[in-house]
Amino acid sequence: MSHFPSSRVGRATAVPVLKFHTSASPLMGATVEQFNLAKRQLATLKNDPGNMAKLQIYALFKQSTEGQCTSSKPGMLDFVKKAKWDAWKSLGSISQEEARQKYCDLIGSLVTEEGGSAQVVAQAAGSGPTYKDLVVTTEDKITTIMLNRITLTHLCVRVFLGAGDFYCSGNDLSNFTKIPEGGIDALAKKSGDLLRNYINAYIDFPKPLVAVVNGPAVGVSVTVLALFDLVYATDRATFHTPFSKLGQSPEGCSSYTFPLIMGPSKASEMLLFNKKLTAAQACDQGLVTEVFPDASFQTEVWNRLKAYAQLPPNSLALSKQLVRSAELERLHAANDAEVARLVERWQSDECMAAIMGFFQGKAKL
């Protein structure tokens, strides 16, 4: 899995020169624990490090976790994959231990360049649990959950944001190509249970939830936005729910929340007819709270979040309970109905044909 699964890089064909600030002997290498801390430090960066730095981070991450690059060279017209492949290939045969050290050094230098202390940031980031596809950090009464593909102390605010240039690309459709021993029926039922529990966690979460949509969002990352208390978006964000295109049906309680928020016809444009909304359109229709210029997005949003985090936590939680309590039963009912319908859809020939068509279309690109 790419450490920047949805980051975009320019049409660079030259291999970037890797420069590192070394604080320990590369021969010794960083420990796995230090490497994991560095991954969490990466999530604390407030500014985009730039395409060259992203390529360096990607290459070192791949070398650290998979070893020397042995994959086939992408085609010349696939600029993004070729740039990533070139960066990884340029590391040659350096050991995974040395790559881990260089990765830690690079992340540390980026944190330091932003005026932070790599050691302090690592300690703050390390205060939360670790997950496979999430980066969870806690600082200044704000718990940040970064979707890296997408706790509980007495804190005020939970914030969701995306890694790189995208917010979230939705469900990993490749899961449908990995049929377990029990067949597609078993896969559908297991996926349904996971989805039901996942959405229930949003519905029942007692403290304020804020989505910081830093780029394009697809699928369930869009539908659950109606379960957040605030949704802030950059002006380059888009919102897409291509369910019928994939032979599927709405999720995340959107069959109930979207018509409630934007009206039946506008909701149908998204949920039935796959309309993609711009950030401005999503704001006009009530899905997004406020849109910010991309250049000032992070600064403006985080200034607000830090102010919100100073509000009395019990007052916030109890106020949210009053605002949301009347809807809880309807939301749970909508979630159950949507999951039941999706389990049927996932087992249908129509859905499987649509997903296979999706992969075939990608293969031709």
- Mean pLDDT, the chain, as a whole number? 77
Phi-psi region of 2 (alpha: psi -120 to 50; beta: other; left: phi over 0): beta
Task: Report the pLDDT value the prediction gives residue 362, as an integer from 0 to 100.
Answer: 53
Say what the pLDDT of residue 111 is.
Answer: 76
The CATH class that applies to domain 147-364 reads alpha beta
Region 337-358: mean pLDDT is 88
Q: What would the DSSP string read from start to end of 155-193?
A: -SEEEEEESTT-SB--S-GGGGG---TTHHHHHHHHHHH
| Cα separations in angstroms, 139 against 8, 16, 119, 160, 315 | 28, 33, 14, 14, 20
Give the percent of the chain with pLDDT over 70: 70
Dihedral angle over CA of 59, 64, 69, 74, nearest 10:
-40
Q: How confident is the model at residue 8 (pLDDT cuts 50, 70, 90)?
A: very low
Fold of 1-126: Acyl-CoA Binding Protein (1.20.80)
Is the per-residue pLDDT at 294 higher than 70? yes
**If pLDDT is split at 50, 70 and 90, which confidence band does 22 have?**
very low
Domain boundaries, the chain: 1-126, 147-364
Q: 361 pLDDT band (50/70/90 cuts)?
A: low
67 membership: H or E segment, kind and range: none
pLDDT digits (tens, 9 = 90+) for 156-197: 465 555 444 545 544 545 555 556 666 788 888 988 999 999
- Beta carbons within 10 angstroms of residue 293's beta carbon: 10
pLDDT confidence of residue 319: 95
Structure tokens at 172: 């990993």
The reported pLDDT for the residue numbered 82 is 83
**Is 261 in a helix, a strand, or coil?**
helix
State the pLDDT at residue 99: 87
**What pLDDT, in 10s, does the model give residues 214-228?**
888 989 989 999 999
Q: Which residues have a Cβ under 8 Å from the Cβ of 145 and sit 6 or more positions away? A: 134, 135, 136, 158, 159, 160, 161
Helix axes 96-113, 32-42, angle to 10 degrees: 30
Query: Mutual orientation of helices 328-346 and 183-204 as an angle, nearest 10°?
Result: 160
Whole-angstrom distance, CA of residue 309 vs CA of residue 40: 21
Residues 125-150, mean pLDDT to the nearest whole number = 56
Which residue shows structure tokens 């042995």? 70
Give one DSSP letter per residue of 86-106, joined into a string: HHHHTTTT--HHHHHHHHHHH
Write the pLDDT tens digit of every residue in 196-206: 998 999 999 88
120-143 burial string, b = 16+ CB within 10 Å, else e? ebbebbbebeeeeebbbbbbebbb
Q: What is the pLDDT of residue 105?
A: 81
- Of residues 362 and 359, more confidence is placed in 359
What is the structure's pLDDT at 19?
27
pLDDT at position 306 over 80: yes
The whole-number pLDDT of residue 26 equals 33
Considering the entire predicted model, what is its pTM?
Answer: 0.60
The pLDDT tens digits of the residues spanning 248-285 come to: 999 999 999 999 999 999 999 999 999 999 999 999 99
- pLDDT computed for residue 4 by the predictor: 34
Cβ-proximal residues to 9 (8 Å cutoff; 6+ apart), any chain: 51, 54, 55, 79, 80, 83, 84
Q: Which of 210, 170, 169 is nearest to 311 (CA)?
A: 210
Tokens of 221: 């990352």
E strands, the chain, are 134-139, 142-147, 157-162, 209-213, 217-218, 230-234, 238-240, 277-278, 290-292
Q: Is the pLDDT assigned to residue 98 strictly greater than 60?
A: yes
